[in-house]
Amino acid sequence: MLAYHAQTMHTYRSVRTKSHSIDWDHPPKQFKIYPETFTRIPLDKSNLEHRFFYLIGGITAQKSYPGVTYALRTNPSAGALYPTEIYVQIRDVVGFENGIYHLSPFETSLVLVYPFTEDEGIENFLHVKRISGYVFLFSTLYYRSSWKYKDRAFRYCLHDTGHMLGALEASCVLSQKRYRIVYDLDKKGLNTLLGFSQEEFFLSAAIVGEEDETFTCKAPTLQLPSVNGTGFFEANAPVEEVYDATCELVPKQQVAMPVFNVDQERFTQAIWKRRSIRDFTQKPISKEQFLEVMHFITQPIPSDCDVDIEMYAIINRVEGMEQGVWKEGVYLQSGDFAKKAGYLCLEQALGEESGVTFFLLGNDAQNYQAMVQKAGIIGHRLYLISTYLGFGCSGIGAYYDEEVMAFLQRDSMVLYALAIGY
């Protein structure tokens, strides 16, 4: 197991004894805004190519509490803190100047941070030749999350970025675009290129375009200003250390594309309406719905580092299925484990009152960044298929790690939990 993962486990004792000093006076800013001098392309939702971008992290609702307003997005985020930022290189697409853009959800705009010449491009950092189309880059401003979650924040930054990759996948499904995820990129080189200091770093990329293998691009020479995306910043050594320690990976290609047989209009609505469920009515879902969910979330994810994820389903309320712990069509334990599932999710009712509570596990410490992001992509698929089928989902990043492992009798790392149901 990766030492960082072991060191950031929640235990019954740790959540009661660790004094969490959250600096309530300095909540991080939720948006990174480039100076006004940079050219903007406002995104027009009625333009299909603009809508493609809008659905990747765009704002779809507002929620206000005394003193704070959250801009809710197409992607969920642990604590609604939204650490993920998106940059995209655009080349040879009608209506866009070739260059590198920042996708700004606050301004509903693409901000041109660097227009480039014909032979320039970031392709070398991804070990590919010239791409016509889009190359997305996903970074994290980790203080937005470590402000609240301290050392465990790196996990949430990876989940959140996985969800953003899932949002990209869903937008590609609607636009009938092919995509592939790249984890094996020169992250440190890109961090320097984009002018990041220690608070922001790249985690992954996605190619949505065609490669011309006869043309090698040369790296652009950017001179970007450093833009403060969090306001206040406090370094977290364990987060920065684990990022450094896990940037390298062992490639494991997956070239198969997923097949999603969805009604386009209904799927569009699911993307716009997706929200985290707060309470379950405890009405059961049907066996057919459960099997449709499993079919949807187990479709291949094309990437250069496709790590195996073990998916355990605690069947609490599924009509036509007995209760128990289910994995790949087989019951590992039979019985009513609803209360246990709620307890394992740090005593959150969501885990107990769901139709099904999922635990995603993995044991590939060498590919930690790719593995936890993949758990986030699967989580995003779970949200969308649940919304599509008329019920709901919630991600659950807080659970008693070792107790989940003991319950499932597995030695793997517990990566993520999610609950679905009515």
Ligand X SMILES: Cc1cc2nc3c(=O)[nH]c(=O)nc-3n(C[C@H](O)[C@H](O)[C@H](O)COP(=O)(O)O)c2cc1C
Q: Give 318's contacts (C-beta < 8 A, 6+ positions apart).
A: 284, 285, 286, 287, 289, 290, 355, 356
Options 33, 59, 71, 80; binder of ligand X; rule CB under 6 A: 80
Does residue 72 belong to the site contacting ligand X (CB under 6 A)?
A: yes
Q: Quick check: 395 binds ligand X (CB under 6 A)?
A: yes
The residue of the chain with the least Cβ separation from ligand X equals 76
Smaller CB distance to ligand X: residue 116 or 422? 422
Among 8, 56, 58, 77, binds ligand X (CB under 6 A): 77
User: What is d(CA 250, CA 308) in angstroms, rounded to the nearest whole number?
Assistant: 13
Chain-centre distance for alpha carbon 104: 17
Q: Which one, 289 or 348, has the nearer CB to ligand X?
A: 348
For ligand X, the closer of residues 177 and 275 by Cβ is 275
Listed ranges 8-16, 51-59, 153-161, 211-219: which one lies at the site for ligand X (CB under 6 A)? 153-161
Tokens of 276: 């985290």
Whether the CB-CB separation of 245 and 239 falls below 8 Å is answered with no
- Shortest Å distance, C-beta 74 to ligand X: 8
Minimum CB separation of residue 158 from ligand X in Å reads 9
Q: Do the Cβ atoms of 370 and 307 come closer than 8 Å?
A: yes
Nearer to ligand X, 188 or 275 (CB): 275
Determine, following the binding rule CB under 6 A, whether residue 76 of this chain makes contact with ligand X: yes
Smallest gap from Cβ 378 to ligand X, in A, equals: 12
**Rounded to whole angstroms, how far apart are CA atoms 403 and 224?**
47
The answer to whether the Cα torsion of 248, 252, 257, 259 is positive or negative is negative
* Three state DSSP letters for 105-172: CCCCEEEEEEECCCCECCHHHHCCCEEEEEEEEEEEECHHHHHHHHHHHHHHHHHHHHHHHHHHHHHH
Number of neighbours of residue 278 by Cβ within 10 angstroms: 9
160 touches ligand X (CB under 6 A): yes
Q: If binding means CB under 6 A, how many residues of this protein chain bind ligand X?
A: 18
List the end-to-end C-alpha distance of the chain, in Å, as a whole number: 35
Q: CA separation (Å) from 309 to 301, 334, 369?
A: 12, 22, 13
Does 78 help bind ligand X (rule: CB under 6 A)?
yes
Nearer to ligand X, 99 or 397 (CB): 397
What whole-number distance in Å separates Cα of residue 388 and Cα of residue 266?
7
Q: How far is the CB of 34 from ligand X (least distance, A)?
A: 25
159 touches ligand X (CB under 6 A): yes
Span 164-203, contacts to ligand X by CB under 6 A: none
Cα 78 to Cα 97, 158, 311, distances in angstroms? 35, 11, 20
Instruction: Using the minimum distance from each CB to ligand X, give the nearer residue, 10 or 130.
Output: 10
Give the Cα separation of 100 and 103 in Å (integer): 10
Nearer to ligand X, 11 or 192 (CB): 11
Token pair 């246990």 in the structure block, residue:
340
Location of structure tokens 């990022």: 243
- Measured from the CB of residue 17, what is the shortest distance to ligand X in angstroms? 19
**What's the closest the beta carbon of residue 75 comes to ligand X, in angstroms?**
8
**Closest approach of ligand X to the CB of residue 73, in Å:** 6
Using the minimum distance from each CB to ligand X, give the nearer residue, 80 or 257: 80
Applying CB under 6 A, among 271, 396, 405, 408 the residue interacting with ligand X is 396
User: Which residue number, 34 or 399, has a Cβ lying nearer to ligand X?
Assistant: 399
Distance CA 316, CA 333 (A): 12
Instruction: Assess contact for 185 and 193: CB atoms under 8 A.
Output: no
Which of 108, 124, 276, 299 is in the footprint of ligand X by CB under 6 A?
A: 276
Candidate residues 89, 348, 357, 373; the one interacting with ligand X per rule CB under 6 A: 348
Q: Which CB atom, from 178 or from 273, has the smaller least distance to ligand X?
A: 273
Give the residues lining the site for ligand X (CB under 6 A).
72, 76-78, 80, 156, 159-160, 163, 275-276, 348, 350, 394-398
